[in-house]
A and B are shown apart, each in its own frame.
Chain A
Amino acid sequence: MDPNIAHPQAGTGGGDAYHMMIKTLPLLSALGWRNLWRRPKRTFVILFAITLGVWFMIVSAGMMIGIIEQQVRDMIFNLTGHAQVHHPDYRDDPAIEHSMLLPSKKLQAVLNSAEVKQWSSRVRLPAVVMSERESRGVMLVGIEPLREQGLSFIGEPVVAGRALQSIDDNGIVIGRRMAEKLETQIGKRIVVMAQDKHGEVADRGFRIVGLYQAELEATETGYIFTGLSTAQKLLGMSEISEISLITENRDEIDSLVARLSAAEPQLATQSWTELEPLMVTALEVYDNFMIIWYLIIFAAMAFGLINTMLMSVFERTREIGLFQALGMRPSFIVIQVMIETLMLLLIGITLGNLAGWFTIDVIFADGIDLTQFARGLDAFQMSSIMTFQLEARDIVTINIMVIALGLLASLYPAAKAARYIPIEAITRT
Chain B
Amino acid sequence: MFVAVPLNQPKGRVRMSMQTTKVIIRFFILCPVIFLPGYAASSDASKIIKAAMDQWRGITSHSTMSMTIHRPDWERTMTMEGWTEGEKKSLIRVLEPKKDAGNGTLLLDNKIWTFSPKVNRVIKIPSSLMNQSWMGSDFSNKDVARSADIIDQYVHTLIKTETNSEGFKVYEIESVTKEDAPVVWGKEILRIRDDYVMLEHTFYDQDMQAVKRMLTLKIGMMGGRMVALQQRMAKIETPDEYTEIQVLSAEFDIEIPQTVFTLSNLRNPRF
Question: Are any A and B Cβ atoms less than 8 Å apart in their complex?
Answer: yes
Q: Show the binding face of A for B, using Cβ within 8 Å.
A: 71, 126-128, 130-137, 170, 184, 188-196, 199-201, 203-207, 218, 278, 281-282, 285
Complex: A195 Cα to B1 Cα, angstroms: 34
A205 touches B145 (CB 8 A): no
Check: B257 CB closer than 8 A to any chain A CB.
no
Apart from A130-B131, A281-B2, A282-B2, list 15 A-B contacts with CB within 8 A. A71-B1, A132-B185, A135-B131, A170-B180, A188-B206, A189-B177, A189-B179, A191-B183, A192-B182, A193-B182, A204-B180, A205-B178, A205-B184, A207-B179, A278-B2
Contacts of B206 in A (CB 8 A): 132, 184, 188-189
Contact (A199, B179) CB under 8 Å given A135-B13, A190-B184: no
B6, B183, B186 — most chain A CB neighbours (10 Å): B183
A133 touches which of B181, B182, B205 (Cβ 8 Å): B205
- Write the chain B residue with the least CB distance to A129: B12
Contacts of A207 in B (CB 8 A): 179
B110 touches A200 (CB 8 A): yes
B141 touches A205 (CB 8 A): no
A204 touches B128 (CB 8 A): no
B131 touches A137 (CB 8 A): yes
Complex: A221 Cα to B111 Cα, angstroms: 29
Contacts of B181 in A (CB 8 A): 204-205
* Min C-beta distance of B11 to chain A, whole Å: 3
B127 touches A191 (CB 8 A): no
* Min C-beta distance of B20 to chain A, whole Å: 15
Q: Show the binding face of B for A, using Cβ within 8 Å.
A: 1-3, 6, 9, 11-13, 110-111, 126-128, 130-131, 133, 141-142, 145, 147, 177-186, 203, 205-206, 211
* Min C-beta distance of B270 to chain A, whole Å: 27
* Min C-beta distance of B142 to chain A, whole Å: 6
* Min C-beta distance of B18 to chain A, whole Å: 13
Complex: A194 Cα to B145 Cα, angstroms: 11
Complex: A188 Cα to B179 Cα, angstroms: 10
* Interchain residue pairs with CB less than 8 A apart (23): A127-B128, A128-B128, A128-B131, A130-B131, A132-B206, A132-B211, A135-B13, A135-B141, A136-B12, A137-B131, A170-B180, A188-B206, A189-B184, A192-B182, A193-B145, A193-B182, A195-B128, A200-B111, A201-B110, A201-B127, A201-B145, A205-B183, A282-B1
Q: Is the interface of A mostly helix, strand, loop or mixed?
A: strand
Contact (A191, B2) CB under 8 Å given A130-B141, A136-B11, A137-B12: no
B11, B128, B178, B180 — most chain A CB neighbours (10 Å): B128
Complex: A131 Cα to B145 Cα, angstroms: 14
A204 touches B182 (CB 8 A): yes
Complex: A204 Cα to B147 Cα, angstroms: 11
A205 touches which of B128, B130, B182, B211 (Cβ 8 Å): B182
A136 touches B13 (CB 8 A): yes
B147 touches A201 (CB 8 A): yes
Contact (A131, B184) CB under 8 Å given A137-B131, A193-B145: yes
Complex: A194 Cα to B183 Cα, angstroms: 14
Complex: A200 Cα to B133 Cα, angstroms: 19
Complex: A388 Cα to B93 Cα, angstroms: 66
Complex: A267 Cα to B50 Cα, angstroms: 50
* Min C-beta distance of A91 to chain B, whole Å: 17
B205 touches A195 (CB 8 A): no
A195 touches B127 (CB 8 A): yes
Complex: A244 Cα to B29 Cα, angstroms: 46
Complex: A389 Cα to B179 Cα, angstroms: 47
B130 touches A201 (CB 8 A): yes
- Write the chain A residue with the least CB distance to B182: A203
B3 touches A132 (CB 8 A): no
B179 touches A193 (CB 8 A): no
Contacts of A193 in B (CB 8 A): 130-131, 145, 182
* Min C-beta distance of B94 to chain A, whole Å: 23
B126 touches A191 (CB 8 A): no
- Write the chain A residue with the least CB distance to B131: A128
Complex: A278 Cα to B1 Cα, angstroms: 9
Complex: A221 Cα to B2 Cα, angstroms: 21
Contacts of B127 in A (CB 8 A): 195-196, 199-201
Contacts of A199 in B (CB 8 A): 111, 126-127
Complex: A127 Cα to B182 Cα, angstroms: 13
Complex: A195 Cα to B111 Cα, angstroms: 11
Contacts of A132 in B (CB 8 A): 184-186, 203, 205-206, 211
Complex: A126 Cα to B12 Cα, angstroms: 11
- Write the chain B residue with the least CB distance to A207: B179
A205 touches B1 (CB 8 A): no
Complex: A133 Cα to B9 Cα, angstroms: 18
Contacts of A137 in B (CB 8 A): 9, 11-12, 131
B9, B133, B184 — most chain A CB neighbours (10 Å): B184
* Min C-beta distance of B205 to chain A, whole Å: 4
* Min C-beta distance of B40 to chain A, whole Å: 15
- Write the chain A residue with the least CB distance to B109: A200
Complex: A205 Cα to B146 Cα, angstroms: 12
* Min C-beta distance of B72 to chain A, whole Å: 21
Contacts of A206 in B (CB 8 A): 180
Complex: A200 Cα to B112 Cα, angstroms: 9
* Min C-beta distance of A47 to chain B, whole Å: 37
Complex: A194 Cα to B185 Cα, angstroms: 19
B182 touches A135 (CB 8 A): no
- Write the chain B residue with the least CB distance to A131: B184
* Min C-beta distance of A363 to chain B, whole Å: 27
- Write the chain B residue with the least CB distance to A221: B9
Contacts of B141 in A (CB 8 A): 130, 135
- Write the chain A residue with the least CB distance to B141: A135
B184 touches A130 (CB 8 A): yes
Complex: A30 Cα to B203 Cα, angstroms: 93
Contacts of A133 in B (CB 8 A): 205, 211
Contacts of B12 in A (CB 8 A): 128, 134-137
Contacts of A218 in B (CB 8 A): 6
Complex: A192 Cα to B147 Cα, angstroms: 14
Contacts of A134 in B (CB 8 A): 12-13
Complex: A191 Cα to B206 Cα, angstroms: 12
- Write the chain A residue with the least CB distance to B6: A218
* Min C-beta distance of B194 to chain A, whole Å: 31
* Min C-beta distance of B162 to chain A, whole Å: 28
Contacts of B178 in A (CB 8 A): 205
